[in-house]
Chain A
Amino acid sequence: MIERALAFGVGGALIGVLCEPPAESANASAPAVLMWNVGIQHRVGPYRIQVDVARDLARRGFASLRFDLSGMGDSEARHGGPVDLQGALGDLRDAISLLEKRRGTRSFVVIGFCSSVDAAHELAVEDGRVVGACFMEGYAYRTRGYWLHYPKRLLDRHRWKRYLARRLNNLTRRRNDNLGNPVQEERAAMGSIFARRYPTQDRFAADVRSLRQRGCHLLFIYVGGDSEFNHLGQFSEMVGSSTLVEDIDVEYYGEADHTFFRVPDRQRVVDRVGLWMSENFGAALTDPQPLPATLRTSG
């Protein structure tokens, strides 16, 4: 594969890395994949996961651009422009223009992760060139099923074990993190993650329906632990239809955490995204090359 650093957008203010498969394995008509900042991290993402995704996709014949939004990572701030959702959408359109001009790409897949889901969702809904969208730890809504599963948290020995371990840790360190009970603690931890403004559940459901009607392929990945999503069936409740979900890929990794801290959890995501791309946008022209053994341990 080939990776190139590129400057694009107005005045070359945006910086990204284009990762392309070797010419012999490139799937010329395949969509290109876009990834950008997760939270305040630069384009590589938590624990470099977006680099791993990009390189796995290249092995499967797909090109990708991972880049920094205006004012983040290596990209310059937009002069006078908003550093918000609209600004991010403008940057995404610049990224699409770059790939259209440079590679002749006509269709795109967006991968949103946590906060970058906001722009991924909006762009997917409004731009017909987006033919696929992957949302990792994206929007979740507390449904009836969520509350029915909720009490399981209080019966989870791991949750109590963690609470006690943290309590002990903080006592020995003489720190005060305002620990309450395990549930309060996890909600405090979730605060920064879920502080964003979500679309209403009705709008989310309508958007998902409209994306599927348009033929846009969708992959949702949720984790357990401190997530607002606590069982696989929650998604069909969120969109109000079990039939609709039959056309959508939804994964629930109950053992993983929000940032995919553990290497096997991260590798599971990389593999799943790659497989989803191959299944929906053309099988890989070459078998993905094996990764180092340290990444091949099971989770």
Chain B
Amino acid sequence: MAHWAFRRLSGLLAREGFHVLRFDWSGTGDSWGHTSEGTVPIWLDDLAAAARELKDVTGASAISLVGRRFGATLAALASAGTIEVDTLVLWDPVVSGRAYFGELEDIDRRENTRLLRGPRLRPDELVGFPVAPELRRSVEEIDLRRAAGVRARRIALVADQHRNEYRELLEVAHGTGISTSYDHVPEDPSVTNAGQREAALLSARSLTAITGRLVGEAQRD
């Protein structure tokens, strides 16, 4: 559903005059490589290449990054590299890689109970995808609150639920002189299952909030 959400978001942003490039990480979606081959350094290179491509194609002078969940985490990490980031939009970001894997393992356990011949949890698979030990190690080492060198003119955090780690993350960013904002866009409280959560992701609330934030910041500039 992330694909559809980002397609809608890119349409909303384009209508507001933004050039938008959305892409699949290496080893995911249509991009090259097998799923088991993705690593954090490769994905950070992907993002740098995407930013260069967007600048080359459009002539844009300022780049904003919008990432959701671990995509937001990668965007934050990439901002410490060669990309000069204007607004960094973190949509329900993964702050702790270790906690993220814990969440994925919970989902995996639930999915495995759906299967008749399960659960047969395999160390090299998670939520239907192969996961190399190296990838797992590198993700679990990530904690955005301690990540060095996150740079952006501003960070806009959009979240469907309040989490202490989000407050701590914004405090750290604010402490380094980055302007921060926080939009709480709650899901419908009646949402209880995966299907409804997917529907919620398709809803325009978060997408409108992100668009509004980027438009507002652009107008302020």
Contacts and interface: CB of A to CB of B under 8 A. Distances in A.
B115 A159 contact: no
Main secondary structure of the interface of A (DSSP, over half): loop
Interface string A152-164: 0000101100100
B4 A261 contact: no
Contacts of B193: 175, 177
A291 interface: yes
Contacts of B122: 262-263, 297
A261 B128 contact: yes
B192 interface: yes
B36 interface: yes
A175 B116 contact: no
Interface stretch (B27-35, B47-55, B211-219): B27-35
The size class of the interface chain A forms with chain B is 35 or more
B28 A225 contact: no
Interface stretch (A44-52, A103-111, A211-219, A233-241): A44-52
Given A42-B3, A175-B192, A294-B132, A51 B30 contact: yes
Contacts, number: 81
The size class of the interface chain B forms with chain A is 20 to 34
Contacts of B203: none
Interface string A198-224: 000000000000000000000000001
Q: Which of B34, B113, B114 has the most CB of A within 10 A?
A: B114
13 contacts: A40-B4, A44-B29, A47-B128, A158-B117, A162-B113, A166-B113, A226-B116, A257-B115, A261-B111, A263-B122, A292-B34, A292-B37, A295-B130
Interface of A: 3, 5, 17, 40-44, 46-48, 51, 73-74, 156, 158-159, 162, 165-166, 169, 175, 177, 189, 224-226, 255, 257, 259, 261-263, 291-292, 294-295, 297
